[in-house]
Chains A and B, each alone.
Chain A
């Protein structure tokens, strides 16, 4: 495997902290916030992150495939989650400590619950408004719930949630640079 060539394209309106591990070809869109201690690894192919996403501490985004990993707009990656999905739509919530494997593609308005492990054997596309949540209280040794429940969200309240997500990102864009060094892209 050839050495990974680093190329970071960070929009001038994005807030990416200095203490973030980036590898490979990464594009980060306007208004996206990447907390310190997050990690984005474009190992095989590039990663393109859309607008107004929030990537919290300890979150890991990995692209293991050749093709571009596309992350849409207004997604929230909570603390300690690990996502390898090749495509992710808009307004998704990946909750804390959950793990999503590269066999899953996520559409829009999906919620992966806390500590949930999404690992289907075959490639799968989660339809819009899918909610995955831990059914059992007993996790395995790795600290994730392998047995998960699945529901379809009615979508009621999504406007309010979207509004909240926007405000969340807006607040972080204002506050994070006050306490953290911010990384700039290659271009700027």
Chain B
């Protein structure tokens, strides 16, 4: 696995510092940069776990028709036009006319059929050659297929059953929504939500609502708004429910239609090819009472997709807002973290040595330590007891130059956490884990990264190219020497456009085990455009974005945590065996 850098989103804990990276649960706090958002108002990173998501529109991924949200439910979240999926391979089906009466000899070159489509039409999969005539579905005209299928679909036993179930529960739902609306008012007064919009309010009321049918079975949970009236009301509900809720009788007997009967056993007994039985993923989307046989699979209307709008959880500002049109892949608002935070990529120079030409490789590897270079593996392996350089390339997305300062989080584990962590292990192992398996050194001083500029601005600047070339020439032997661990490896190695490469070093202890994975605090200083909002922002900033006290008044500092994963430590004795 290549070294990776993930970014911390502080939404899961109240602490400003991220969890130690060696805990498995810490992976939930770290995300790749491209999945993160950035709220300008709060000056904070937001991730997919903490943003609130609203659906801004539904559309069919095949015909790109925007389905009004009113009809989404009526159409059962599927395209109600001409879009169908193959039940066998999930390819999109196309409508084709029937063949003209068979001329008998195909090889004769006198096939002349025009573009006249002859009914009956049927659905045809171009990939696996399934067609709907196999299950007896044909159409008189090639448009409005879903409408033509509606009749058979609606008369199917499972959809009838579903309709009946809905009818059965309708009065209870209505009653419960009534009771919820009356009991909801007092409960909101002490609700912890300070910011509610209609959608979250509706959702939370739906979650908090008393469901009469459910309340009957666990009356202790039948809680409602008023502390005085709560018990009495739930009690009343209980007595009322006994009368209100008649037992539901299904239309069809389960087991008779499709699943688990003697028929199926018989079918299985006479099975010749496993493909005769529809696989689970093919039957998954249908009801429970479908036939087992793959030849009975029906075409599926294509499920709709939605375009979500994402909001910051604390200030409710929109972070992501797609364009309404289904054909468009653009966004009206797109506040992604990649536009605000420097992108960091990590790599290990010693892992790249084997990829070089053989002659060069032998000369380089003869003096270098890592035995990984001798094996022809591209995998970066790190052996316990050795020192390895690594490089971090930081790319500045801002239009202003920034100064970056890196720091490794050295906060040791709290003792009780440590003991919890190693509760199941022996004392000796505990001793080992207590000692840090590796030490990381990074450049301590701040270094600059040039501003981002569009590519064409570099185009005519000859001297810049020359400078780049010179830099590359200078830096590439430096890298080689870095591989030998003799020259400077810690510090700024390369500057090119808006990307700066800095080197670090990791010293792995003799008894080192596990992953070389450490938290790194990145703080960068940039010139803020207008000082007034920045002051306001600094007034109520969270502790994770502290303002550097030494910075000039118009400069602003933003800090964030990352986790750098360089790879696995190979224990020393294992490599000796090799």
CB–CB A157/B107 < 8 A:
no
Question: B67-75, B127-135, B260-268, B568-576: which lies at the A interface?
Answer: B127-135
Docked pose: A114 CA to B133 CA in angstroms: 24
Chain A residues in 8 Å Cβ range of B127 = 113-114, 133
Question: B94-102, B219-227, B283-291: which lies at the A interface?
Answer: B94-102
Docked pose: A135 CA to B97 CA in angstroms: 27
CB–CB B275/A149 < 8 A:
yes
Across the interface, name the chain A residue whose C-beta is closest to B128: A133
Contacts A149-B275, A151-B275 given: A156-B128 contact, CB under 8 Å? no
Query: Taking the complex as formed, is A66 at the interface, i.e. its CB lies under 8 A from any CB of chain B?
Result: no
Which of B89, B103, B128, B275 is the one whose CB lies under 8 Å from A159? B103
Query: Taking the complex as formed, is B388 at the interface, i.e. its CB lies under 8 A from any CB of chain A?
Result: no
Query: What band does the interface of chain A fall in when counting residues whose beta carbon is under 8 Å from B?
Result: 20 to 34
CB distance from A90 to the nearest CB of B (A): 6
Q: Mark B45-89, 1 if CB is under 8 A from A, else 0.
A: 000000000000000000000000000000000000000000011
Chain A residues in 8 Å Cβ range of B100 = 159
Which of A114, A135, A153 is the one whose CB lies under 8 Å from B129? A153
CB–CB B111/A159 < 8 A:
yes
Query: Taking the complex as formed, is B113 at the interface, i.e. its CB lies under 8 A from any CB of chain A?
Result: yes
Chain B residues in 8 Å Cβ range of A156 = 98-99, 122, 124, 131, 133
Name B108-131 residues within 8 Å CB distance of A.
Answer: 109, 111-113, 122, 124, 127-131
Chain B residues in 8 Å Cβ range of A159 = 99-100, 102-103, 106, 111, 113
CB–CB B106/A162 < 8 A:
yes
Query: Taking the complex as formed, is A166 at the interface, i.e. its CB lies under 8 A from any CB of chain B?
Result: yes
Docked pose: A30 CA to B130 CA in angstroms: 32
- When A and B form their complex, what is the total count of cross-chain residue pairs whose Cβ atoms lie within 8 Å? 61
Query: Taking the complex as formed, is A160 at the interface, i.e. its CB lies under 8 A from any CB of chain B?
Result: yes
CB–CB A157/B124 < 8 A:
yes
Across the interface, name the chain A residue whose C-beta is closest to B127: A133
Docked pose: A78 CA to B202 CA in angstroms: 55
Chain B residues in 8 Å Cβ range of A162 = 106, 111
Chain A residues in 8 Å Cβ range of B122 = 156
Across the interface, name the chain A residue whose C-beta is closest to B98: A156
CB–CB B89/A166 < 8 A:
no
Across the interface, name the chain B residue whose C-beta is closest to A133: B128
CB–CB B107/A74 < 8 A:
yes
Chain B residues in 8 Å Cβ range of A90 = 106-107
Across the interface, name the chain B residue whose C-beta is closest to A135: B89
Docked pose: A73 CA to B107 CA in angstroms: 8
Which of A111, A149, A157 is the one whose CB lies under 8 Å from B99? A157
Query: Taking the complex as formed, is A186 at the interface, i.e. its CB lies under 8 A from any CB of chain B?
Result: no
CB–CB A158/B128 < 8 A:
no
Name A150-188 residues within 8 Å CB distance of B.
Answer: 150-151, 153-154, 156-160, 162-163, 166
Across the interface, name the chain B residue whose C-beta is closest to A110: B129
Query: Taking the complex as formed, is A41 at the interface, i.e. its CB lies under 8 A from any CB of chain B?
Result: no
Which of B96, B103, B127, B134 counts the most chain A CB atoms within 10 A?
B127
Contacts A149-B89, A150-B275, A166-B111 given: A91-B131 contact, CB under 8 Å? no
Query: Taking the complex as formed, is A131 at the interface, i.e. its CB lies under 8 A from any CB of chain B?
Result: yes
Which of A73, A114, A150, A160 is the one whose CB lies under 8 Å from B96? A160
CB–CB A151/B129 < 8 A:
yes
Across the interface, name the chain A residue whose C-beta is closest to B129: A153
Across the interface, name the chain A residue whose C-beta is closest to B109: A166
Query: Would you list 19 pairs from A and B whose C-beta atoms are within 8 A, ordered by A residue?
Result: A91-B106, A113-B127, A113-B128, A114-B127, A149-B88, A150-B275, A151-B129, A151-B275, A154-B134, A156-B131, A157-B124, A158-B99, A159-B102, A159-B113, A160-B99, A162-B106, A162-B111, A166-B109, A166-B111
Closest 7 CB pairs of A and B: A153-B129, A159-B99, A131-B129, A133-B128, A163-B111, A156-B131, A162-B106
